[in-house]
A and B are shown apart, each in its own frame.
Chain A
Amino acid sequence: MSPVNSPLKNLDYSVVQQCMHCGLCLPTCPTYDTTQLERNSPRGRISLMRAIADGKLEATRTFAEEMYYCLGCLACMTACPAGVNYAELFENARAEAEQSGVLDSPFRRALRGFTLNWLFMDLGRLQWLGAAIRFYQTLGLQRLLRWSGLLNLLPRRLRDLESMTPTVQPHFSADLIAPNTPALRGGRYRVAMLTGCAQDLIFSDVNRDTVEVLARNGCDVVTPPEQHCCGSLHAHNGELDLARRLARKQIDQFPPDAFDAIISNAAGCGSHLKHYATLLEHDPLYRDRAVQWDRKLKDIHEWLAEIGIDAPARTNAPEQTVAYHEACHLCHGQKITAQPRQLLSAIPNLKLKEMAESNWCCGSAGIYNLIQPEMADELLDRKLKHVRATQAETLATGNPGCMLQIQNGARRENLNLRVAHPVTLLAEAYRREATANTNATAPKPGETR
């Protein structure tokens, strides 16, 4: 293979060379912790990438599989004192795997073509699919099929997939959110709201809650109904060129200088969205705007902490205990750990319970739970064990993938657990406050005004 086609050989060598193999990342890597094989560790994976960059190893099938066995959870980046940029290495290693074609098969090609090149390149297509699934679910077909046992005829992988199919919300974000939502009292900031793909399809209510919370905290919110995928799925799956195309579309749609902040409420997207500058560094037309974009891009928790949360008033709502699971791409990818806890602590009547290993991957990891179900299940079990130990009735987490994964796990284990985005809990507190206020100001029976 010529070096021109090798993302790892083309990568700045200092990135590859940065790992000094001290091993301090090993105990935080979920795959290494499970297998105790160096190949399944950050240090081992980097050594394979370096071997390719050095021309000592071809991008073999085993190499490619290893790169897909990695969760991309970035726990190793938090642990690494040497500042190794594993995220960049990882994306280029998966791109290497794809370009070498070692994993190629007609089925895989078709699937990737359908999802990455077609479905996720255009929100309309995604919404169309979402509507189809919604149709299937609301007609009761799903229940009928599940009940009939016909699904048991499917191979296990497909059957699992069916049971993991999330319930599509009856409305997409655009049905719930106006393109322009003015701040509740005196707009202090003008922000753009990114509605995401999975978030839009499955958790459009989280998007609505986010916009409400922003408006309540002095932000004029711009939410265009037609948005594009951020490209994280593409970047994490070795399609860097498609990811670049989507990044340009985003920047065109949301010129960074028109906003005080561009808000993401999905950790996985946010973590990718903040690195457009690296992605587009060789694009003279977009390079500068990408740098500006990265600076404006804020995770919702981060932004609220920056502008200060207007704490909701205490009502007589019952106390709720909430555990917090840190999405990998929030705590490792964006180093946001204190802010979500601050947000939760601002909610009256909410008791935050810390759980063990709150920053360990739950196994969702993008589409990891679909391609590596065994490892994903193991991590999910581990997560649920810790959740259960807190005895919390609600689990808060800031990423749609984690929400789905943990919801599925709780359902499988008959665990009575609500899974919610922290922003939703805050929005609910504001609503309780508003209801309490109207009740207080509404005329009491018999009272005349």
Chain B
Amino acid sequence: MPVKPEIHKRLAAIVGKDHVLTSAEDLIPYSFDGTAALTQMPGCVVFTTDAAQIPQILRLANETGIAVVTRGSGTGLSGGSLPTPDCIVLCTARMDRILELDRANLTLLCEPGVTTLAIADAATEAGLFYPPDPGSMKISTIGGNVAENSGGLRGLKYGVTRNYVMGMEVVLPDGQVMWLGNKCVKDVAGYSLKDLFIGSEGTLGLITKVLLRLIPRPATKKTMVATFGRMDQAAEAVSAIISAHIIPCTLEFLDRTTIHCVEDYAKIGLPLDCEALLLMETDGHPAVVAEEAAQMEKICRDQGCLEVRVAKDDAEGNRLAGARRSAFSALARMAPTTILEDATVPRSELARMIRFVEGVAVKYNLRIGTFGHMGDGNLHPTFLTDERNTDEMHRVEQAFHEIFDEAIRLGGTITGEHGVGLAKKGFLPKFAGDAQMRVMRELRKALDPKGILNPGKIFD
């Protein structure tokens, strides 16, 4: 049942007329997120400009039973902010103020619609560092990052979004507001509910403020590129680096297809005659950086790499990292539809997983480009397909099943950083098992008895 004009009016009374969208031309651009082949029209879109508006909207939703789907910038890759039919899309893009940068406690407090890049820039300006840097950081919001517990290119050394969230303000589905966490480094008062909301994918509650931890900026960094004649050599090199007790901040991987697409876009002179490329970065004290860089270079050579190139300065290093960030979108040059996976395995199993993915692509006669956060054991095999080709889409589906089964068998997970959303909903019960599914269901029911927040996502 479409959202009634009467509801539009009530929403307009809360947020102002200019912040409610209802026409088809306004809604079509909100009928998808970054996920391939999923579209659904919302009932209306509402922009909040002040956290105080949100409890009122959620109370209205509870009263009328209308679903609310929270959206940051809609770059999610599991359908998390995809509307449910006739829902209210609550968009936080206009809540984009940084509220406080506390130089004494090294924290930053902001609204949920601030982009990841704006946070990183603000930290840099204060001589500090906010490490999580998802490929989408130019536009992804911190609310989305927290709700997906996003990773990035520096996960290996610095961890993911969760490691930087010290506190947050949450509005519960019934409109009640609560503060979780604080500026203390230690806090064990009660359950760590803050952690429950990190990665909650727009269910359970709406994040209206985020308190982030910043760290001192590393003094120097060094960026290198190593190329390999075979993919599993690159994987072996990563395992060897880790087992040599080196924790570089970045160990990113691109396969041949991805390298060509990225070079086609970025034109920064990536080596094209190789099967795999590792982007490696170490940062910290100059002496340590120099030593680690030399060790990594040696390990790559021992694994029979074709070439190691060292970026001559930070600018070149940033260009390389920037090019890597464009990998997923650049792959879209190859095919009308790109569907990427997010399977993650323990690092010791990387080479095996990579070979398995290659085999699956051959078996189902699918084109594939693989890249990913190799240091985290997090691969993004990306199927290059066409959503209008139903036969091929069916084979893609089958390939996924095999890849997920194998990831689970190797002690891995079905999603490392993109979340379950709609895209991986079908695979979750098998991965999580009955007990975990029951606890998650009961938790959600307790917080959101009427099921108004992002219904149908993660699980029913």
A complexed with B: yes
Give every chain B residue within 8 A of A51 (Cβ-Cβ): 28
Tell whether B329 is near chain A: CB-to-CB under 8 Å.
yes
Interface string of A26-43 (1 = CB under 8 A from B): 110000000011110101
Report Cα–Cα, A48/B39, bound state, in Å.
13
Q: Contacts A48-B29, A51-B28, A62-B23 given; indicate if A22 touches B136 (C-beta within 8 A).
A: yes
Distance A330 CA – B335 CA, assembled complex (angstroms): 28
Are A38 and B34 in touch, CB under 8 angstroms?
Answer: no
Check: B94 CB closer than 8 A to any chain A CB. yes
Residue in A18, A22, A26, A39 whose beta carbon sits within 8 Å of that of B26 in the complex:
A39
Q: Are B73 and A21 in contact (CB under 8 A)?
A: no
Q: Is B30 a contact partner of A24 (Cβ separation < 8 A)?
A: no
Residue contact B29 to A20, C-beta cutoff 8 Å: no
List B43-92 residues whose CB lies under 8 Å from chain A: 47, 73-75
Cβ A23 vs Cβ B333 within 8 A: no
Per a CB cutoff under 8 Å, which of B30, B32, B329, B337 touches A80?
B329
Is B333 touching A82 in the complex (CB atoms < 8 A)? yes
Asked whether any CB of chain A lies closer than 8 Å to the CB of B115, the reply is yes
Known: A27-B139, A47-B32. A20 touches B26 (CB 8 A): no
Q: Mark B325-336, 1 if CB is under 8 A from A, else 0.
A: 011111011001
Q: Is the CB of B25 within 8 A of A26?
A: no
Please report the C-alpha to C-alpha distance between residue A37 and residue B89 in the assembled complex, in whole angstroms. 13
Given the contacts A23-B136, A48-B25, A82 and B330 also touching, CB distance less than 8 Å: yes
Residues on the B chain within 8 Å of A27, using CB: 115, 117, 138-139
With known contacts A18-B336, A36-B94, A82-B333, A24–B31 Cβ distance under 8 A:
no
Interface size bracket, A side: 20 to 34
B29/A44 in contact, CB under 8 A: yes
Q: Which of A36, A38, A81 contacts B330 (CB 8 A)?
A: A81
Contact A81 B332 (CB under 8 A): yes
The listed residue (A26, A48, A60) touching B139 by CB distance below 8 A is A26
Interface check A448, CB cutoff 8 A: no
Chain B's closest residue to A16 (CB) is B336
Contact between chains at A38 and B30 (CB < 8 Å): yes
Q: Is the CB of A23 within 8 A of B139?
A: yes
- Give min CB distance, A374 to chain B, whole Å: 15
B323: nearest chain-A partner, CB-CB: A81
Within 8 A of B (CB), among A133-184: none
Q: Are A24 and B139 in contact (CB under 8 A)?
A: yes
Once bound together, how far apart are the Cα atoms of A47 and B26, in whole Å?
A: 11
Interface flag for A381 (CB, 8 Å): no
Chain A residues within 8 Å of B338, by CB: 20
CA distance A152 to B215 in the complex (A): 59
Q: Mark A45-81, 1 if CB is under 8 A from B, else 0.
A: 1011001000011001011001000000000000011
Within 8 A of A (CB), among B266-312: 266
Q: With an 8 A cutoff between CB atoms, is A14 at the interface?
A: yes
Identify which of B29, B73, B136 gathers the most chain A CB atoms within 10 Å of its CB.
Answer: B29
- Interchain nearest-CB distance for A91 vs B (Å): 20
Q: How far is the CA of A44 from the CA of B26 in the complex (A)?
A: 9
A245 CB → nearest B CB, Å: 32
- B93 to chain A: which residues have CB within 8 Å? 36
Contact indicator A62/B25 (Cβ below 8 Å): yes
A24-B139, A83-B265 known; A47+B31 contact, CB < 8 A: yes
CB neighbours (8 Å) of A10 from chain B are: none
Instruction: Kindly report which residue of chain A lies nearest to residue B94, judged by CB atoms.
Output: A36
A17 CB-CB contact with B under 8 Å: yes
Nearest-Cβ distance from residue A53 to partner chain B, whole angstroms: 12
| Cβ 8 A contact of A82, one of B47, B117, B136, B329 | B329
Cross-interface CB contact of A26 among B73, B264, B330, B336, cutoff 8 Å: B73
Candidates B23, B117, B140, B333; contact of A83 at CB < 8 Å: B333
Distance of A253 from chain B, by nearest CB (Å): 34
- Measured in the bound complex, the distance between the Cα atoms of B328 and A80 in whole Å is 11
Task: Note all chain A residues with C-beta closer than 8 A to B96.
Answer: 36
B329 touches A41 (CB 8 A): no
How many angstroms between the C-alpha atoms of A24 and B323 in the bound complex? Answer: 13
- B36 contacts chain A at the CB level, 8 A cutoff: yes
Complex Cα distance A20/B96, Å? 25
The answer to whether the Cβ of B417 comes within 8 Å of any Cβ in the partner chain is no
Say if the beta carbon of B255 comes within 8 Å of chain A.
no
Within 8 A of A (CB), among B3-41: 21, 23-26, 28-34, 36
Contacts of A80 in B (CB 8 A): 329
Chain B residues within 8 Å of A23, by CB: 34, 73-75, 136, 139-140
- For the complex, what is the distance from the CA of A140 to the CA of B75, rounded to whole Å? 58
A21 touches B25 (CB 8 A): no
In the complex, A43→B336 CA distance in Å?
Answer: 15
Residue among A14, A18, A38, A48 with max Cβ neighbours from chain B (10 Å): A38
Query: Nearest CB to that of A83 among chain B residues?
Result: B333
Closest Cβ neighbor of A51 among chain B residues: B28
Q: Once bound together, how far apart are the Cα atoms of A47 and B28, in whole Å?
A: 7
Chain B residues lying within 8 Å of A56, measured Cβ to Cβ, are 28
User: Is there contact, CB below 8 Å, between A38 and B29?
Assistant: yes
Given contacts A20-B332, A22-B329, A81-B329, A41 and B29 within 8 Å (CB-CB): yes
Residues in A whose Cβ lies below 8 Å from that of B24 = 57, 60
- Measured in the bound complex, the distance between the Cα atoms of B93 and A36 in whole Å is 7
Whether B34 contacts A21 by the Cβ 8 Å rule is yes
Q: Which residues of B contact A21 (CB under 8 A)?
A: 32-34, 74
Complex interface: chain B residues within 8 A of A20 (CB): 34, 36, 329, 332, 337-338
Shortest CB-to-CB span from A398 to chain B, Å, is 21
Contact residues in A for B326 (Cβ distance below 8 Å): 24, 81
A95–B433 Cα distance when bound, in Å, is: 55
Question: Complex formed: what's the CA distance from A66 to B28 in Å?
Answer: 13
Q: How far is the CB of B124 from chain A (nearest CB, A)?
A: 16
* 5 residue pairs, one from A and one from B, having the closest CB atoms: A44-B29, A38-B29, A82-B332, A81-B329, A81-B326
Known: A22-B75, A23-B73, A48-B25. 17 other contacts (CB 8 A): A18-B336, A20-B36, A20-B338, A21-B33, A22-B34, A23-B139, A24-B329, A27-B139, A36-B94, A36-B96, A37-B21, A41-B29, A60-B24, A60-B25, A81-B332, A82-B329, A83-B265
A-B contact pairs, 28 of them (CB 8 A): A18-B332, A20-B329, A21-B32, A21-B33, A22-B329, A23-B74, A23-B75, A23-B140, A24-B139, A24-B326, A26-B73, A39-B26, A43-B29, A44-B28, A44-B29, A48-B29, A60-B24, A60-B25, A63-B25, A81-B261, A81-B265, A81-B266, A81-B326, A81-B329, A82-B329, A82-B330, A83-B330, A83-B333
Interface residues of A (CB under 8 A from B): 14, 17-18, 20-24, 26-27, 36-39, 41, 43-45, 47-48, 51, 56-57, 60, 62-63, 66, 80-83
